[in-house]
Amino acid sequence: MNIEAVIFDMDGVITDTEKYYNRTWPVAFAALGYTDFTREDALAQRSLNHEDAQKLWGSRYGKDFSFEEVHKYNTKLVLKLMEEEGIQAKPGINELLSFLRENHIRAAVATATKLERALPRLATVGLENAFDTVISASMVKKGKPHPDVYLHACKELGVEPSHCIALEDSPNGIRSAHSAGCITVMVPDLTMPTPEDEKLIYGWAKDLSAVIPIIQEIESAPL
């Protein structure tokens, strides 16, 4: 198997920023009167597109619930936290990117974050020029867990999904990459893979540098 590209999720995979969302979502929900929203609920929200989030939380909170209103308030909270506490890259990113360059494997980002926020976030950790393309879910019809963002990234790269490794940290991202036909590898951030996740992933890596031997294993496996 020839791996032609690696497609990265951003928050929780490239940047250590998913932790901020996990803190702010309960605060944002509570500020608008939904006080029973927990950090466990915030884990289910990771990478979830707006339409599906509206359905998910609307089924709990009723017809007057507006996810857009909660999301708008949460964005203010999370951006403030990032400004106050900073943004760091996840361990192993530079080692993995160097390996990809040396082996002529293309690199892309497929993120649920809007492009106008994703690009500055990558620049903050010095990775503004590290990827062949950056694809936001706002650029496609349906965001994660639907396959659109990964299919679009593969199209931009000019490679088949079956020759791409997707790196994800959340169940919604895993479902998105797997349904697109990518070889999906979990790089755990806030949670380890569940039994359901394990059915959809090739394997998991303790950090991004540990993705390197997984690539080598896939490429050396007999057809």
Contact 186, 201 (CB under 8 A): yes
In this structure, how many other beta carbons lie within 10 angstroms of the beta carbon of residue 103? Answer: 12
Provide φ and ψ at 125, rounded to 5°: -100, 15
Which of 11, 148, 189, 197 is an active site residue?
11
Is-catalytic flag, 36? no
Locate 147 and state its tokens. 């396959």
What residues have CB less than 8 Å from 39, skipping those under 6 apart? 22, 23, 25, 26
User: Is 9 one of the annotated active-site residues of the chain?
Assistant: yes
Write down the catalytic residue from 9, 148, 189, 197: 9
Interacting residues of 110 by C-beta distance below 8 A, sequence separation 6+: 7, 8, 9, 135, 137, 149, 150, 152, 153, 166, 176, 177
Structure tokens at 23: 């803190």
Residues annotated as catalytic are 9, 11
